[in-house]
Structures are given as structure tokens and as C-alpha cells.
A and B are shown apart, each in its own frame.
Chain A
Amino acid sequence: MTNATPTLFRRLTSTKLFWPLLALALLLAFNLVFTKGFFHIEIKDGHLYGSLIDILNRAAPLMLIAIGLTLVIAASGIDISVGAVVAISGALVAMLIGGTLVLKGGVQEYVTLLPMSVAILVTLAVSTAAGLWNGFLVSRIGMQPIVATLILIVAGRGAAQLITNGQIITIYYKPYFFIGNGFLLGIPFSLYIVLLLLLITLFLTRRTALGLFIESIGINPKASRMAGINAKNLLLGVYAFCSFCAGIAGLVVCSNLKSADGNNAGMYFELDAILAVVLGGTSMTGGKFYLIGSMVGALIIQTLTTTIYSIGVPPEITLVVKSVVVFLVMMFQSETFRRTVFGKFTKQVVQS
């Protein structure tokens, strides 16, 4: 029997963060051996440079979406429209800022359609409104989350293409590039956005009862309603928050690329985000959620992508690898699978 297992090992493996961190560590170890200069970090022009910093910077949009999606999945919902919201947000901000180079008395100046702060606020408001729409359909009309967000995928992608007119809009406004490319104290600025959002979310869900409410909706919606939790408004808020996060991610992506592409921006983001959340230990069926785990999940995905790029495998294979990882994680989360596979190795008393 397995009674002799050391308790420390048991305790370690039983924490939810153990497995995602182990996966990340294994990936990094793989890179330590096979990728030259992977851990090399140097300071250039007062910024940190290196593969690791690059991974952190590129993972920022995914981490942002994962924060919002974690809450949605915890409330036993799903939002597959995050990619479309990223596209809308990018397209909208690009259109509102626009930016043209104008010569004013011999000095080059960038002129924007709207002031940058207004453009960003409007974009975030529209993204949140998209989430409110999702939340309205789920909480008030009672649609299945997958269907409600499916509607936004179809119409949202169309709206993004409508804004960009099916083309790639380039932004010519330097200050805006700071969001996705800038450095503050040597660290990419986008990471500060992630950190801020994460801290606020952690505070709201762990220091107030909000997190508990969301988990209770995910575990048993009926019981939580009986207990006096306003599930409808909470769901509405969770979906709005998720789209808000996707909206910020859209800003970062668009700023990083210095352009907006209504056709392809945010494509496949929904899978990456779901994968990040699930890798982080949050179950697809809802209930307990792990925000830090989701962050580790996002980092695993980005490290995986960067690794695939750097070891010279065709980048197209990324999709296949990711989907295989999803299949594996899904199976390990399935009670039935664990019973059939691991049941053979451990003696079990037949129950019932």
C-alpha cells in the first residue's frame, strides 16, 4: 500500500500550484539544456533584454484574459468570445487614435483623432459593454454560456472587420506604443498592467466575500441562490469583467503590433486562455479557482510557444502541440479517466 509515502511529498503535490509550476520548471529546464542563451539577461539602454523578459512581455495579453476567464470558469461559465473582443478593442482603439504625421512649422507632430486617454476609455467601455451583453444573455435570458458567447464571436468578428474595413489599420502615434513596447524601471510596462489587475482581482476575490460567492455559484447555483447570493448580477459582473480584461489585452496586443487587424487579431486566443486557466488548476466544471495558477498557466503556454520557435520546429506545429496538451490536461481532470488509468496501480476497496 501507499502508506509509506513521505508526507512532505504528499503535501507538496496536493497543493494546486505544484503541478503547473513543475510543468513550467520542466519546460525551463528543457530550454536550459537545448536552447543556447535562453537564460541570458542583459541590460541594454537601461532595459532588461533576454528570452525570459520576452516571454513575460508576450504572455501579458494572455495573462490579462486568463484573469477574467478564471472568474467566468469558476462561476461554471465559459467565454469563448474573448478573441473577438480583443479584435474589437484593437480595431476600435486604432480607429479612434489613428494618428497622422503632420508638419507644424517645420516640426513633425503626431495628431490623433481623439486624445489617447479618451480613446482608451471608450474602447474599454465598449469591451465591457460587450461583456455585459454576454452576461445579460447568460444571467437574464438563461442561455447556455457557450451559445451566448458564440453569438458575440459571430457578430463581434464582423464588427471588428467593419471597423477596420477588413484591412490592417496602422497606428502612427508614438505615446500609444508605450503600452505594449515600453519599459518602466527596466521591466516591460505591460507587466505592470497585469500585476495591477491581478492585485485588484486578488484583493476583491480573496479579501472580500466576492470570490466565495463566485465559487458557490460554480459549485451549486441553486443552493447559492437559496443562500441569498444575487447570482444574476454576479454573473453579469463576471462576464463584464472578463470582456474588460480582454479589452485591455486588445490594447496591449494592438500597441505591441502598432496596428490592428480585424480579421486575425485575437484568433485562437480563446483556446490559449482556456488552456491557461485549466493548466492553472481551475476545473472546467467550475468551483474553486486559482488566479496565480492561471498566471503560471499563461506563462507555460508562452514558454511552450517560444520554445517551439527557438528549437527550430516549424511554428505551425504549435497549434497541434497545444491541442494535444489540452486533450491530456482534460483527461487528467476527468474523474473517470483517472479511475480507469490509475485505478490499476493502486488497490482500492470497492465502494458501494
Chain B
Amino acid sequence: MIGKISVKYLSLLVTIGLFILMYGFGSVMYDGFFSPQVFLNLFVDNAFLCVTAVGMTFVIVSGGIDLSVGSVIALTTMISAHLLETSHWHPAAVIVLVLLVGSSFGFAMGSLIHHFQLPPFIVTLAGMFLARGLCYIININSIPITNAFYTEVSQFRIPLPGHSFVSINVIIFFVVVIAAIFLAHYTRFGRTVYAIGGNEQSAVLMGLPVGRTKVLVYTINGFCSALAGVVFTFYMLSGYGLHAVGMEMDAIASVVIGGTLLSGGVGYVLGTMFGVLILGTIQTLIIFQGTLSSWWTKIAIGILLFLFCLLQRLFETGKGLKTQGTTGEQKA
């Protein structure tokens, strides 16, 4: 039993350990790396990534994948910018609308995946191009946002001790993480998601609402992407069809580095948060290093992603061998 628990949390511990190690490495190597503001900036600069990665965690735990999140973020910034600047909508109405658009987008994709039994990655790949295309239909250029509410939120700084600050985005970040942890571990929905990811067939046989949950998972991810889009709009103060290109890869990488199994069934929202922080630390390290070009960030993330996938495979094959030998025992 104890062995089982430690294995269960092992990947999470590896992730947290890696984060501490990387941050420690930066602190030792570079002056000024170990300051409250540099640490807090990890949250400030990656709030949108974390929000969308949290949604992605649910999708991957359920055994699916969603490649459309980056495009949905771009679409959200585009719709927000267009409605605020051209149609002069009230900011609250804009936010409510984009969240609805994102959720419906996710709902539609989830329904296709569930009802027609289509492979998730191709449905969401098509969704990715649809959302990106819709951005360009609204406007092919970047639209700067001058709306008073948006600029105020963007510039608002919540002071913290030690002459540091965080933005409102960080508050949204933490609210989402806490809500997601609650949803994943303390609700019936969360347990169903884990059950589907573990074995969909068994979940159906147990009488769990598999279809409804799967559609809901994609809907939640659509909502999270749209919320990430709102956060991203606060961060960038513009709407552009080329925003967040490749963000889906970063989100998936964060989730995987955070210890969620790509085959589904195992994963932690908290791990995803640390995955995002690791990605942020890589970026900060490369900025502090100074001579490496920013392209190295992508290569480093690619390598890290590879290592974690490899680690997962090793765990999986190890687990597979064990369960093969003691199937009856574990079931009993």
C-alpha cells in the first residue's frame, strides 16, 4: 500500500523537485535571480498558460487531447478587441460572451468526439484551424485595446511585501487552480473523469455518465481556454490572429511535465501548475543567460517533454508487467 502511494505521487514529486532544482540552479548562477519579483513574475507571465493547462489536465486525464486551445485563446482576444474597440460593448458583456463562445466551442467538439466516436486529436485539430480562421475573418491585423477597464486591470498591481507585486491575472490563476483541484478530487464529476481515463469500458459498465462527462470535459477546457484568452487579453492588451500560436503545445507540455499520464487516468492539477512554473523558469533562465536565443526555449521544452514521456513509458511498462502477474490479487 505504501509503495503504491509513493509511486502514485512519484511523478508529482519529480516535477516539484525539478522545479526547485532549476530555480535553485538559476539562483546560484545568476545575480538577482533569487528575488521575490523574479519568482512572482513566473506567475504574472504565465497566468494564461496555467489557466488553459488546467483545462487541458482534465482532458488528458480523461484520455483525450485538445489541440485547439491556442487558437481559442487567439479567437477570444480577437472577439474581445473587436467588440470593445469597434462595437464599444461593455467589458462585462464582452467577458461573458467570450466565455460562452469558448465553452460552446468546447461543447461542440466534445459532442462530435462523443456522439460520432471520432478521434479527439483530429476533431480538435480541425477546431484549431477553424478558430484560427475565424480570427482572420474578424480582422487580419492586430487590434490594440484602449478600453479603460481593460487597461486598468492590465496595469493594476497588487503590492506584496518586499517591494514586489502581482497582477490581477495571478488572482484568476489561483482561483482557477483551487477550483480545479476541488473539481478534480472532491466531486463526483472529477472521480468520473479519472475513471474514464483509467478504463472507459469499465466506467461505462459501472454505470457512470461517461458520455455526459466527456462532453463536459471538453466544455470545461473550452471555458478555460476562453478564460485564458481573457487573461491573455489583459496581459497583451490587443487582439490578434497570431496570438498564442503553438500555445497548445506549451499547455500539453506543462500537463505532461506536471506528471499527468498521456494515456489518461492519472494526473494532478497541482502538478500542472508546477509544469507551467518549470516552463516559465526555463524561459527566465534563458533570458538571464543572455547569450542564448529565445528559440532555445522551444528546444529545451521539447527535450523536457521527451524525457517525461520516456519516464511515463517506463512507469507504464513497469506497471503493466506487475498487473499482468497479479491481476486477480489487485482486483480483489
Contacts and interface: CB of A to CB of B under 8 A. Distances in A.
B299 A146 contact: no
Contacts of B302: 151-152, 154-156, 158
Contacts of B253: 154
B121 A162 contact: no
Given A142-B317, A157-B246, A274-B125, A319 B136 contact: yes
Given A142-B313, A162-B293, A331 B130 contact: no
Contacts of A159: 295, 299
A336 B130 contact: no
Contacts, number: 134
Contact of A330 (B118, B128, B136, B140): B118
A158 B127 contact: no
Interface in B110-152: 112, 115-119, 121-123, 125-130, 132-134, 136-137, 140
Contacts of B263: 144
A324 B108 CA distance: 13
A147 B316 CA distance: 15
B296 A158 contact: yes
Nearest to B246: A157
A142 B294 CA distance: 31
Contacts of A327: 112, 123, 126, 130
A316 B140 contact: yes
Contacts of B118: 330-331, 334
Contact of B309 (A147, A156, A321, A330): A147
Contact of A274 (B122, B134, B296): B122
A324 B126 CA distance: 8
A330 B119 CA distance: 9
A229 to B, nearest CB: 22
Contact of B249 (A137, A142, A154, A336): A154
Contacts of A270: 125
Interface in B291-312: 293-299, 301-303, 305-306, 309-310
A326 B313 contact: no
B184 interface: no
A78 B121 contact: yes
A11 B195 CA distance: 46
Contact of A320 (B125, B137, B297): B137
Contacts of A285: 119
A233 interface: no
Nearest to A160: B295
Given A143-B313, A314-B137, A271 B298 contact: no
A198 interface: no
Interface of A: 78, 80, 137, 141-144, 146-148, 150-159, 161-162, 165-166, 268, 270-271, 274, 284-285, 314, 316-324, 326-327, 330-331, 334-337
